[in-house]
Every structure is written in structure tokens, then in C-alpha cells.
């Protein structure tokens, strides 16, 4: 667990998840709120699950799922911002952070795939 707790992408994903929950605290569209918070929570959760697996192949699989959740979250936040569920400034910040985390995961996945070969 120490390696995970020192992993910058996991720390940022945890913060993003908290920020999403806090940003949608007063959202009255519970379907939207539920879907977006699940996507946000999926990112650090899948990173953690990957790091708890016993092979690089399994780790890469869960990091790839986490990266997919970044895309899902980014899309939902964009829609939420345009629909008025998320304020413009907050939405743009959260969208940018989801994209940055996705880039970090891409680099990590690439690195681990190289180690597999």
C-alpha cells in the first residue's frame, strides 16, 4: 500500500473524486449526480485495485479501466456543465483534471507494458 499512497496519479484521482462529490453536493438531479460520482470514484478505486493485483498484466488492465473512467467522467462533466448542473469554472477545472489524470495513466500504462516485454 505504501507504493500506492506515494503514487501521484492515485493521489490526484482521490482528490478529483472528492472535488466531484463536493461540487455536486447540492445537485438535485440524482441520476446525473449518481452517475458522475460513480465515474469519479471508479478512477482511484481501479488504480488501487490494479496495484493490489499480483501481475503487471492485471495492473495494466485496471489502470486501463481507470483511464476509461476518466473519459467517461470528462464527458459527463462537459454535459453537466452545458446542462447547468455544474458551474462553468468548476466544470472546466474538473474536466481539465480528468484529462490530466488520463494522460498520467496513459504514461503509466505505457511504462508497465514496456516492462512486460
Domain count, the chain: 1
pLDDT of residue 104: 98
| Domain carrying residue 97 | 2-116
Of 76, 60, 74, 61, residue with least CA distance to 102: 74
- Interatomic CA distance for residues 92 and 29, integer angstroms: 20
pLDDT of residue 3: 83
Q: What is the pTM of this model?
A: 0.94
What are 96's three cell numbers?
481539465
Per-residue pLDDT of 59-115, as tens digits, reads: 999 999 999 999 999 999 999 999 999 999 999 999 999 999 999 999 999 999 999
Angle at 106 between CA 105 and CA 110, to 5 degrees: 115
Per-residue pLDDT of 20-30, as tens digits, reads: 999 999 999 99
What are 65's three cell numbers?
479501466
- Return phi, psi of residue 64, to 5°: -65, -40
- 2, pLDDT greater than 90: no
Q: Mean pLDDT of all residues in the chain?
A: 95
What is the CATH classification number for the domain harbouring 87? 1.20.1440.60
pLDDT of residue 74: 97
pLDDT of residue 99: 98
Instruction: Match 441520476 to its residue by C-alpha cell.
Output: 31
The 10 Å CB-count burial string (b at 16+, else e) for 22-41 is ebbeeeeeeebbeebbebbb
Amino acid at each position: 500500500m505504501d507504493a500506492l499512497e506515494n503514487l501521484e496519479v492515485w493521489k490526484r484521482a482521490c482528490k478529483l473524486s472528492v472535488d466531484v462529490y463536493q461540487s455536486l453536493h447540492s445537485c438535485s438531479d440524482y441520476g446525473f449526480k449518481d452517475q458522475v460520482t460513480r465515474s469519479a470514484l471508479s478512477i482511484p478505486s481501479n488504480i488501487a485495485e490494479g496495484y493490489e493485483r499480483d501481475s503487471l498484466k492485471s495492473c495494466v488492465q485496471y489502470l486501463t479501466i481507470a483511464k476509461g473512467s476518466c473519459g467517461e467522467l470528462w464527458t459527463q462533466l462537459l454535459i453537466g456543465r452545458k446542462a447547468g448542473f455544474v458551474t462553468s469554472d468548476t466544470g472546466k477545472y474538473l474536466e481539465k483534471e480528468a484529462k490530466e489524470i488520463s494522460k498520467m495513466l496513459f504514461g503509466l500504462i505505457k511504462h508497465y507494458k514496456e516492462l512486460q516485454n
